[in-house]
Amino acid sequence: MGLVEFIEGPAFWFALAVFVAGALWRFVGIIRIGHKPDLAPPKGSAGWGWIRGNLRHFFPRGLFAERTWMHVLGGYAFHLGLFAVMFFAAPHVDFIRERLIGVGWPALPRWGFIIAAEIAFAGLIVLWVRRFSDPVMRLISDWDDHVGSWLTFLVMLTGCLALERAHVSLRALHMGLVELWLIYFPFSRLMHAFTFMLSRGATGASYGRKGMTL
Amino acid sequence: MSETADTVIRTMLDQTDGDIAAYLEACVHCGECAEACHFYLATQDPKYTPTYKLMPLVKAYKRHKAPLRSVKGMLGLLPAEVSEEELREWESLVYDSCTMCGRCTLVCPMGLDIAGTIRKMREGYSAAGIVPDGLRTARENVVKTGSPMGVTAKALKAQIARQEKETGLEIPLDKQGAEYLALFSSMEVMGYPEVIGAYARIFARAGIDWTISTEAYEATNIGVQIGDGPLARKLVARIVDAARKLGVRHVISPECGHAYGAIRWAGPNMLGETFPFEVIHIIELLDRLRAEGRLEIGEKDARRITLHDPCQIVRRGGLLKEPRRLLDDACADFVEMKGSGVTNLCCGGGGGVSANPRAEELKTQAFSCKKAQLDAIDGLKAVVVPCANCRGVFEDGLDALGGDYEVIGLSELVADTLKD
């Protein structure tokens, strides 16, 4: 077995297994810490609050917009762009259909991919530049923030380079970085892609019990 | 690790339940919380970024409690042990520069309850005796007299006698079988005793059967502010015992922010029981009486008046519409300040900050954000502040920074506008 076959075969399945097992372990581990039942008589529903809290925090509040607009724009651009290229790039749709679940869905046309990737890159660069240029961000950022940003950037960059699927080595390089990203994910702050539900939900449930709409 | 650091860390981690763990896990270090914090807004000092204040707990959690820590440990990826020196360095951030107002939660894309998490950190600090001097003194006063300002039952009775004389109404003390038990904060009893008279006037008009207990008149819960769980439980238990003894059906939480959270939302969980009486905030009760037509308003206050939303009553307490309905009835020219309601700015002195002399200058700086909101309203004459602690901070802040606005309580305003 050559290096390319190894990267696209066993290494990928190993990385995927680490990703799934690690992310599940961490997610369930947080839930298993548990919390005591709340004995204060509620004024509203904690369950609805959990849902509302999760949805409400997708939308920034206007009052804070003038101070946070750059971060909000960068964050939305990066996450929406990344979501589009991750699940709707033609090579990804083919890969998911052929190697993972056996079904696919319509992919982005080439021009759609280019736009989505440009938006994602622009967002990621804004977030990254802010991380080392803003005094608050410099103070609170650690190596995990930087490694996560760089790794994601390199995955995206090599993905664009491999778009034409003309060079096996470029595709293997992209796959190798994706595998690194998958292995790094459950041990890092990238896990926020899942843990956001728990934190927003906890606050939403607390507000919900108090009869508040966030 | 020193014994002190061990106590802080162990207690903090004991307090870290699944919700707190989710907050510590989900933070993406975006820094948006800084833009909601009045201490950062007033000083522009990055160390006041709310999530930064949690760093010792984050490190301890990752090292001792987080899932996957053993794998990370094998790879050498765990943070270093938190030292006593580091914990002491963070003490002022945990006590002086967080009023536990919860405004940062609203701007946080992950919805982190940083205020609630700071409360858990304070439990650790308090267990190890790392507490600012001002709060330590308040705790000693509570242990000696039951009140953080040392207000004894004798002093309370003297203030009640004055209010009875002033209003010409009897204020019932320790009345067995009364329907409502009213609590007050020390600040109200000593600084704004006219609140007691306002209750007497309103309740007489509305036909409320009420009383004040000489054993449990103090609503302030310094245990909650410091993070002293056992003391907080003791203070809640004192109220519950008195309410049971008198056989009341409702306990009225006063115009005090954290007191409401302590008795209404945290109290049952502290004692591990659902209370056999309803805890109702005075604002809720007044709004209920208004809805039932038992508060007939006469001439409205004609001045341009705005409302300060106390964080623990509105954002973290759930009473958003009630004060507004009361003010609509009582004021002819009520105006909202920019950012009012759940996104209100804190006064800068909640969460024990106003009882901490070391934080005085910082508190005044933070109040400048609040004052800017008041100054932005043309022709403003008065501000209604339905929290005695906030009210004191407003008066101190306006004194220090200038500003010719009258600061009034909501109950007094309602009492003053009742129909003759």
CA distance A68 to A182: 30
For residue A67, the model assigns a pLDDT of 83
For residue A65, the model assigns a pLDDT of 85
Contact at CB, B25 and A142, closer than 8 angstroms: no
Min Cα distance B23 → chain A (Å) is: 5
Express as a percent the part of chain B with pLDDT over 90. 93
pLDDT tens digits for range B76-100: 999 999 999 999 999 999 999 999 9
Residue A214 has pLDDT above 80, yes or no: no
Q: Where does B174-330 show beta strands of DSSP type E?
A: 180-182, 210-211, 250-253, 278-281, 301-307
Contacts of B47 in chain A (CB under 8 A): 139
Letter string b/e over residues B183-205, b meaning 16 or more CB atoms within 10 A of that residue's CB? bbbbbbbbbbbbbbbbbbbbbbb
Mean of the pLDDT values across residues B223-243? 94
Rounded (10°) angle between helices A192-209 and A10-33: 20
Contact at CB, B269 and A57, closer than 8 angstroms: no
Contact at CB, B18 and A35, closer than 8 angstroms: yes
Residue B330 has pLDDT above 80, yes or no: yes
Q: Report residue B72 as tokens.
A: 């990370």
CA–centroid distance for B337 within its chain:
21
Tell me which of B15, B17, B28 to substitute to probe the interface with A (most A C-beta atoms closer than 10 Å).
Answer: B28
Q: What is the CATH number of domain B296-416?
A: 3.40.50
B131: nearest Cα among B7, B44, B269? B7
Residue A66 has pLDDT above 90, yes or no: no
Mean of the pLDDT values across residues B330-353? 95
CA distance B52 to B30: 11
CA distance A71 to A175: 30
Query: Do residues B355 and B150 make contact, with C-beta atoms less than 8 angstroms apart?
Result: no
Contacts of B108 in chain A (CB under 8 A): 57
Residue B313 has pLDDT above 80, yes or no: yes
Q: Please, is A43 exposed, middle or buried when counting C-beta atoms within 10 Å of its C-beta (0-12, 13-18, 19+)?
A: middle
Min Cα distance A189 → chain B (Å) is: 6
Average pLDDT, chain B: 95
For residue A68, the model assigns a pLDDT of 87
CA–centroid distance for A52 within its chain:
21
pLDDT tens digits for range B111-168: 999 999 999 999 999 999 999 998 999 888 888 888 888 889 999 999 999 999 999 9
Same fold, B3-130 and B296-416: no
Express as a percent the part of chain A with pLDDT over 90. 88
- Nearest-Cα residue of chain B relative to residue A200: B111
CA distance B107 to B328: 29
CA distance B282 to B290: 12
A23-27, A165-169, B294-298, range with the lowest pLDDT: A165-169
User: For residue B379, what are the contacts with CB-CB under 8 A and spacing of at least 6?
Assistant: B304
Provide the sign of the torsion angle of the four alpha carbons B217, B219, B220, B222, taken in this order.
positive
The number of CA neighbours under 13 Å toward the Cβ of B315 is 26
Q: Please, is B336 exposed, middle or buried when counting C-beta atoms within 10 Å of its C-beta (0-12, 13-18, 19+)?
A: middle
Q: Report residue B187 as tokens.
A: 């600040």
Min Cα distance A4 → chain B (Å) is: 27
A32-41, A63-72, A95-104, B62-71, range with the lowest pLDDT: A63-72
Beta-bridged to residue B182, according to DSSP, are B252
Mean of the pLDDT values across residues B378-394? 97
Min Cα distance B33 → chain A (Å) is: 10
Mean of the pLDDT values across residues B35-64? 98
pLDDT tens digits for range B154-196: 999 999 999 999 999 999 999 999 999 999 999 999 999 999 9
Tell me the residues of chain B between 33 and 52 that have a Cβ less than 8 Å away from chain A.
Answer: 34-36, 40, 46-47, 49, 51-52
| Any A CB within 8 A of B114 CB | no
Q: Report residue B179 as tokens.
A: 């329907």
Answer yes or no: CATH 1.10.1060 is held by domain B3-130. yes
CA distance A170 to A192: 29
Min Cα distance A118 → chain B (Å) is: 22
Q: What is the CATH number of domain B140-289?
A: 3.40.50.1860
Query: Do residues B118 and B103 make contact, with C-beta atoms less than 8 angstroms apart?
Result: no
For residue B147, the model assigns a pLDDT of 85
CA distance B173 to B176: 9
Contact at CB, B320 and A191, closer than 8 angstroms: no
CA distance B337 to B335: 7
B272: nearest Cα among B242, B236, B245, B243? B236
Can you give the residue ranges of every domain in chain B? 3-130, 140-289, 296-416
| Any A CB within 8 A of B110 CB | yes
CA distance B149 to B185: 9
Residue B269 — pLDDT band, cuts 50, 70, 90? very high
For residue A91, the model assigns a pLDDT of 93
Helix (H, G, I), strand (E, B) or coil at B181: strand
Residue A164 — pLDDT band, cuts 50, 70, 90? confident
For residue B420, the model assigns a pLDDT of 78
Residue B419 has pLDDT above 90, yes or no: no
